[in-house]
Amino acid sequence: MSKTIQEVAGKNIRLFRQAKGLTQEKLAELVNVSSSYIGYLERGLRSPSLDLLARIGTALEVEPTALLFSTSDDFDPTLKKLNALLAGKNSKSINFVYEVARAYFVSTSESV
C-alpha cells in the first residue's frame, strides 16, 4: 500500500524525534508550533509548510529532505532507529559507532 507524502513525513518526524530523545512538546517548542500540531503531523493528518519542514529538520539535525523519503516497510525498524540516531552526527562519531559494531561482529564470529 502506497503512503501519502503526509504519512511518510509524519512517520519520519516521529522516528527522528524519538531517536533524538525529544518529546512532541519539546520539538514543538523548538520549532514554534503547538504540540498538538506536531501530533497531527506525525499522524499524517496535516502537511507541514516548507518553512516548518526546514525548522523541524534543523531541530532534529537532519536535512529536511530526509523527512520526505520513504524506506521500504520491510526495512528493519531498528536499522531505521539507528540511522535516525546517527543523522546529523559528524563523520568521526559515525565511524566510531561503525568500528564498535564491526569489532562486536568480529568478536562473535559473525561475518562483517
Domain CATH for 91: 1.10.260.40
Q: How confident is the model at residue 46 (pLDDT cuts 50, 70, 90)?
A: very high
Q: Are 53 and 9 in contact (CB under 8 A)?
A: yes
Residue 41: inside a domain = yes
Collapsed DSSP state (helix, strand, coil) of residue 32 = coil
Residue 112: inside a domain = no
Residue 10: inside a domain = yes
Alpha helix segments (H runs only) across the chain: 5-19, 24-31, 35-42, 50-60, 77-86, 91-107
Half-sphere exposure of 13 (CA within 13 A, CB side): 32
Residue 12 cell numbers, joined: 519520519
- Determine the structural domain holding residue 41 and report its residue range: 5-107
**Total domains present in the chain:** 1
Residue 47: inside a domain = yes
In this prediction, residue 6 carries a pLDDT of: 93
Residue 27: inside a domain = yes
pLDDT in tens, 64-96: 988 988 765 556 777 777 877 887 788 898 889
pLDDT in tens, 6-37: 999 999 999 999 988 999 999 999 999 999 99
Q: Is the pLDDT of residue 111 over 70?
A: no
Residue 64: inside a domain = yes
Provide the whole-model pTM: 0.73
Residue 84 cell numbers, joined: 535516525
Residue 34: inside a domain = yes
In this prediction, residue 13 carries a pLDDT of: 95
Residue 43: inside a domain = yes
Indicate the range of 53-57, 59-63, 98-102 predicted with least confidence: 98-102
DSSP state of 69: P
